[in-house]
Amino acid sequence: MTASGFKRIPYGVADFEKIQCDNLYYVDKTAFIPQLEAAAYYIFLIRPRRFGKSLWVSVLENYYDINKTDRFQELFRETYIGQRPTGERNSYLILTFNFSMINPDVRFVDQSFEANGKTVIHDFLERYRSFFDEEARRRILSRETTADQLREVVFHSFRNNLKIYLLIDEYDNFANTILSAAGESAYKKLTHGPGFFRYFFNLLKGGTSRSNAGLSRLFITGVSPIVMDDVTSGFNIGENISVDARFNSMMGFDVKETQAILNYYAEAGGVSQDLEACLSIMKEWYNNYRFSKSADQQVFNSDMVLYFVKELLKTNGIPDNLIDQNIRIDYGKLRHLILTDQRLNGNFSQLKQIMENEETVSDIALSFPLERLTERVNFASLLFFFGLLSFDGIREGMPLLRIPNRAVLKLMYGYLRDGFNDIDIFRVNLVEFSHLIRAMAYRGQWREVFDFLSEEVKRQTSVRDYLQGEKVIQGFLLAYLNVTDFFLTRSEQEMNKGFADIWLEPFLARFPDMKFGYLIELKYISRGEFSDALLRENIDEARHQLERYSEDERVARIPEHVAVKKLALVFNGWELAHREEILRP
């Protein structure tokens, strides 16, 4: 528990007023308000799930609301913008839609959209009653649809010299759910032709493109550009700032902000954990998001930082599960991306290739419709917007995208396993397999792990078509070795002037009593070239490589109570032809 008077952790809280009034910790992002004002009047921003989008919408609500003029100092006095307010503070009527509140069941979605929208507009008229006389209120509320009521609101505002700031949070939430749960036909009915959702956005487009429309500012946020492209043919309403370097760290925490949070709660709760060790874990698991190729700063996932600190204070120890369940992108929302007619499509192949290399080179497309998702650049772009890839420099003139951190890496390995499982290519008992990995970590029983997978591949013949080549085998093994958190699995780790195929580093910060780590060298011989002489040649080469890798400083830093085993695995096509532990002569 935190000491009396210390601010509480705002985990899961997206209400700025609540954070300020209930003494919760706030990482001040208000310095971005002047930059946002200068950027454009109509703005679209994409960020991954649980990255602070809803809280930012709430900040804008409270800053610009004309009804909260008298509370400005109460809410903002300790912030950057509180000391340097802009001329537009508290000068708007705020109209906010949160589309996560829409029922995504296709049987009720249109009724839910209308009921929610009309409730929002009714509440708007109540909050700003002094700006709408009874005749105007009756005229607005008499319209049959949300879109028509909204049109009346904005025209009334123009005629009366009122300024509306329209905010839409999670604009694509229910549409994405419909796409994944009900399929493309239901989704297209919503977003194409006369669909009510498309009509709503057509109204917004008209409201921002005409000088007498009455919408002064617009801010829309979501997790992907697909829905926007399908309902408006791309965000041609205003400016998409998703990859603008100026707003790279507007959401998420930079390393200084994360360090400050740790320091603050260490004092509040008397945490005895090594704070540098905690920060190191968070850097590996939650950091390295860069949303612009020209940005020079990386950010942490804010939800995961707060989750970690919350769990740290509860137990005075590293969280048992380093990935917050709330951060997991529901596999169902990706399932339709990699399956076509119950068959893995080209997107799955691309996902698998990205996993094998932990990177890809691709431009980022800011706008593309669903029907073009199988194009390579579009699928890579979608992974970027979901937060599964992040900018990490330039390679031969093209943006280099990498998996940002270990939390995302483990999620993506899960997608691979689920993809194989989903269409009966490869199914294993993951509970049983987890027990085998535990025995590998604590008792050195490594043979059982690889023999288990080998026997399952022999028994489930469908998977063999996917296991061609050393890199593919390596990716397949990593997908299953990542079922547990006992090891920090590292692929192609540079070690002593070479690159170890797999380095299973014991995760001692989480499991301090672990007994074993593993260096693994993979060799691959195609089925048509296999011979005993070639097998021996590959084993000898693996032995020399492992001896060199084992002298790396990373291995030398492992505590004495942990033994690092050196394993040579030789595959003949999909079949594990040889496995042995390399012992010192």
| Distances in whole angstroms, Cα of residue 346 to Cα of each of 337, 338, 380, 459 | 9, 7, 12, 26
Residue 131, judged by CB atoms within 10 A of its CB (0-12, 13-18, 19+), counts as: middle
Average pLDDT, integer, range 76-80: 96
Report how far residue 122's alpha carbon sits from residue 48's, in angstroms, rounded to the nearest whole number.
31
Residue 4 above 70 pLDDT? no
Q: What are the pLDDT digits (tens) for 227-245? A: 999 988 766 778 999 999 9
CA 191 to chain centre: 24
Say if strands 42-46 and 93-98 run parallel, antiparallel, or are unpaired.
unpaired
**Is 120 within 8 Å of 184 (Cβ atoms)?**
no
pLDDT for residue 513 is more than 80: yes
DSSP letter at 9?
A: P
Instruction: Quote the radius of gyration of the chain (alpha carbons, Å).
Output: 27
E strand or H helix that includes residue 97: strand 93-98
Q: For the residues 409-433, what does the mean pLDDT come to?
A: 89
Residue 317: both structure tokens together = 């120890």
- Distance (Å, whole) CA 502 – CA 521: 7
| Type of residue found at 518 | Y
CA distance 111 to 92: 29
- Given a cut of 60, whether residue 561 has pLDDT beyond it is yes
The more confident residue out of 168 and 205 is 168
Which of helix, strand or coil describes residue 579? strand
Q: Which of 60, 88, 17, 242 is nearest to 166 (CA)?
A: 60
> In this predicted model, what pLDDT tens digit does every residue of 446-492 receive, in sequence order?
999 999 999 999 999 999 988 888 999 999 999 999 999 999 999 99
Note the pTM of the prediction, 2 decimals: 0.93
Least confident piece of the model among 41-45, 138-142, 231-235, 494-498: 231-235
What is the distance between the alpha carbons of residues 349 and 378, in angstroms, rounded to a whole number?
14
User: Per-residue pLDDT for 535 more than 80?
Assistant: yes
Of 268-272, 462-466, 500-504, where does the model show the most confidence?
Answer: 500-504
pLDDT in tens, 14-40: 999 999 999 999 999 999 999 999 999
Label residue 498 by pLDDT band (50, 70, 90). Answer: very high
- Give the whole-angstrom CA distance, residue 360 versus residue 403: 9
Predicted confidence at residue 344, as pLDDT, reads 64
Mention every residue, 6+ apart, whose C-beta is less than 8 A from residue 430: 417, 483
What band does 2 get if pLDDT is binned at 50, 70 and 90? very low
pLDDT, tens digit, 9 for 90 and up, residues 138-174? 999 999 999 999 999 988 988 898 999 999 999 999 9
Percent of residues, the chain, with pLDDT higher than 90? 75
Task: Name the band, by pLDDT with cuts 50, 70 and 90, for residue 62.
Answer: very high
Mean pLDDT confidence for 527-534: 93
User: Can you read off the two tokens belonging to residue 541?
Assistant: 């080469």
pLDDT greater than 50 at residue 1: no
- pLDDT, position 585: 61
Q: Give yes or no for residue 391 having a pLDDT over 90.
A: yes
Tens digit of each residue's pLDDT (9 = 90 or more) over 252-264: 999 999 999 999 9
Average pLDDT, the chain: 92
Instruction: Compute the Cα dihedral for 494, 496, 499, 505 and give only its sign.
Output: negative
What was the pLDDT predicted at 365?
Answer: 95
CB atoms within 10 A of CB 342: 8
Residue 478 has a CB neighbour count (10 Å cut-off) of 21
Q: Which two tokens stand for residue 448?
A: 């059982």
Least confident range of 74-83, 364-373, 573-582: 364-373
Burial of 320 per CB tally in 10 Å (0-12, 13-18, 19+): exposed
103 half-sphere exposure, CB direction, 13 A CA radius: 11
Residue pair 239/247 in contact (Cβ under 8 Å)? The answer is no
In the predicted model, what is the mean pLDDT of residues 351-372?
Answer: 91
Residue 406 identity (one-letter amino acid): R
Query: What backbone torsions phi and psi does residue 86 show, to the nearest 5 degrees?
Result: -90, 170
**What interhelical angle do 346-357 and 470-481 show, nearest 10?**
80
pLDDT of residue 5: 73
Per residue in 296-340, pLDDT (tens digit) is 999 999 999 999 999 998 888 899 899 988 776 655 566 667 765
Contact residues for 525 (Cβ-Cβ < 8 A; gap 6+):
534, 535, 538, 570, 571, 572, 573, 577
